[in-house]
C-alpha cells in the first residue's frame, strides 16, 4: 500500500479528502497508528490465550502429580 502511495502520492490525498482529512500524509499517519493499535490488540489477545492455556496445563499437571502421590502413599 505504501509503495502505491509512493509512486502515486495524489492517490493518498484523494482518499484522505474522502475521510475529511486535508493532507495525504496525515491520512497515512492515522492509518499507521490505527494499524499499530490493531496489531497490539491482536498480540494482547494471543498472550492472554497463551496464559489461559498455560494455567490449564499447570493445573492438569498438578492434579496428575497429586493423584500419583496419593497412589504412591497408599502403596507404602
Give the per-residue pLDDT at 34. 97
Interval 13-70: pLDDT, tens: 999 999 999 999 999 999 999 999 999 999 999 999 999 999 999 999 999 888 777 7
Give the per-residue pLDDT at 4. 87
CA separation for the pair 17, 34 (Å, rounded): 18
The answer to whether residues 15 and 31 touch, using CB atoms and an 8 Å cutoff, is no
Residue 7 confidence (pLDDT) above 90: no
The answer to whether residues 7 and 15 touch, using CB atoms and an 8 Å cutoff, is no
Q: Look up residue 73 and give its three cell numbers.
A: 502413599
Q: Look up residue 47 and give its three cell numbers.
A: 498472550
For the residues 9-16, what does the mean pLDDT come to? Answer: 91
Residue 76 confidence (pLDDT) above 70: no
Alpha-helical regions (H) of 1-76: 2-7, 9-18, 24-75
Amino acid at each position: 500500500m505504501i509503495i502505491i502511495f509512493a509512486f502515486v502520492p495524489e492517490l493518498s490525498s484523494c482518499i484522505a479528502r474522502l475521510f475529511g482529512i486535508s493532507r495525504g500524509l496525515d491520512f497515512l499517519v492515522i492509518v499507521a497508528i490505527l494499524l499499530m493499535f490493531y496489531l497490539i490488540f491482536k498480540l494482547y489477545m494471543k498472550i492472554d490465550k497463551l496464559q489461559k492455556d498455560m494455567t490449564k496445563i499447570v493445573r492438569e499437571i498438578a492434579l496428575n502429580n497429586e493423584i500419583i502421590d496419593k497412589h504412591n502413599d497408599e502403596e507404602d
